Amino acid sequence: MEGTDVCFAPVLSFKEAPLHHANIARQVYQEVDGVVQPAPAPRFSRTPSEIRHGAHGIGEDTVPVLQAMGFGVEEIEQLKNNNSVA
């Protein structure tokens, strides 16, 4: 259907999508820490987006997030001991 006057788009798998010529031309995907992922969207000329880091390990951010939410040290320890958080 390419080259015709028809609106269409191919259905691609997660592995195929980053390799499609249109996605490559538009830089739709980026590789961060060895993992291919969608680039930030939307894109703005005056305030460009960026991926600051790759995925964190399971539970890596638990304590800082709970602290930011107002949980105290004892409450966090209790949540850990109860296996409520990792």
Range(s) of the domain holding residue 45: 1-52
Structure confidence at residue 86 as a pLDDT band (50, 70, 90): confident
Same domain, yes or no: 2 and 39: yes
Count of domains observed in the chain: 2
pLDDT in tens, 7-27: 877 789 999 999 999 999 999
The answer to whether residues 63 and 47 belong to one domain is no
Query: Which pTM was predicted?
Result: 0.58
Q: 29 CB contacts (<8 Å, ≥6 apart)?
A: 17, 18, 23, 36, 37, 38, 39
41 and 61 belong to one structural domain: no
| 45 in the same domain as 14 | yes
